[in-house]
Amino acid sequence: MGFLTKRRDQQLAAMQAAGRTVGRSLWQDALRRFATNRAAMGGVVVLLLISLLAVIGPMISPHTLEDYYWEYILVPPTFENAHWFGTDSNGRDMFVRTFHGARISLTIGVMTTAVALLIGVTWGSVAGYFGGRIDNIMMRFVDVLYALPLLFFIIILVTVFGRNIYLVFIGIGAVEWLTMSRIVRGQTLSVKQKEYVEAARALGLSNLQIVRRHVVPNIIGPVIVFVTLLIPTTILVESYLSFLGLGVQEPMTSWGVLISQGAASIDTGPWLLVIPGTFLAVTLFCFNFIGDGLRDALDPEGR
């Protein structure tokens, strides 16, 4: 991103030299601030690297998810037979399993966040936009759900309806939308009363135009920040379920499954816990850094 801003700076300098004034949008300002935040940019780079490895990792290894090597059981990380991350107690290659787990964990993180985003934004914006009685009823409903031990409901859901990955998506997504809806409602309520919305209405803009040009751009900042913080939360919830044996099922795997198996054989093969645990922790770190960076970039006064 550094080179992006540099190129823009050059363009700006060139345009200013030509005697033209150029405006800079708030988004460009935010991007510029984000690009100078080293922790956040580091998070982006590392996360891209992990995502890349999740895609190509299982391809560059000569092994597959279903290969069992009876002669290589519980081997620590080694170059022999290309077991770069060692093997587990069934003689399966950990390199392939770790990055296959990365695929599943990251996918679940993004998909469930998308589910939560969809429900939360719809619910919150409807409540905030209509206000009054509808708002009251809808937010009371959220309050009631908020007070429930919802993770226990997900556990009941996956145990009684069978362990299937789509159920995990829906279950976690259906739980995590609550905070999102509160954020969106609050934002919509405050934006709706702003003078510029009134001005836009006075200028004769239609409702749709007002929502598109004035409401959405102004509520989207906190939503983006919350999304980057929600993805690691959902990854964590999935790992939690998989750790209990309720999430992803064999032969598919996720970081939660790997950590659970690693924890069971920690005295004989510590790398089985340490490797997936490190990847999970680093991923969560990255998302948090990016989220913090985005918050600082999008809301500079709020620091």
Partner 1 sequence: MLSFISRRLLTAVPTLFVVIAGAFFLMRAAPGGPFDADAQLEPEVIDNLRAAYDLDRPVIEQFVRYMARLARGDFGPSITYADYSVTELLAIGLPVSLKLGGVAILVALAVGCLLGIFAALNRNRWIDYVTMTVAMTGFAVPAFVVAPVLTLIFGLYLKLLPISGWNDGALSNMILPVIALALPQIAILSRLTRGSMLEVMRANYIRTARAKGLPEYKVVASHALKAVSLPLVSYLGPAIAGIMTGSVIIEQIFGLPGMGRYFIQGALNRDYPLVMGTVIVYATAIILLNLLADVIYGYLDPRVRRE
| Residues near partner 1, by CB under 8 A | 143-144, 147-149, 151-153, 155-157, 159-161, 232, 236, 239-240, 243-244, 259-260, 262-263, 266-267, 270, 273, 277, 280-282, 284-285, 288
Give the shortest CB-270-to-partner 1 separation in angstroms: 7
Nearer CB in complex with partner 1: 121/229: 229
Cβ contacts of residue 20 below 8 Å, gap of 6+? none
Nearer CB in complex with partner 1: 13/156: 156
C-alpha distances (whole Å) from 96 to each of 61, 102, 108 are: 7, 10, 18
Give the shortest CB-154-to-partner 1 separation in angstroms: 10
> What CA–CA distance (Å, rounded) separates 124 from 106?
26
Give the shortest CB-279-to-partner 1 separation in angstroms: 11
Nearer CB in complex with partner 1: 210/235: 235
Give the shortest CB-150-to-partner 1 separation in angstroms: 9
Token pair in block for residue 178: 């609550």
Give the shortest CB-167-to-partner 1 separation in angstroms: 11
Give the shortest CB-81-to-partner 1 separation in angstroms: 27
Give the shortest CB-175-to-partner 1 separation in angstroms: 11
Cβ contacts of residue 16 below 8 Å, gap of 6+? 22
Nearer CB in complex with partner 1: 102/215: 102
C-alpha distances (whole Å) from 33 to each of 8, 28, 40, 43, 168 are: 14, 9, 10, 15, 36
Give the shortest CB-174-to-partner 1 separation in angstroms: 12
Nearer CB in complex with partner 1: 48/244: 244
Nearer CB in complex with partner 1: 165/284: 284
Nearer CB in complex with partner 1: 5/179: 179
Nearer CB in complex with partner 1: 125/283: 283
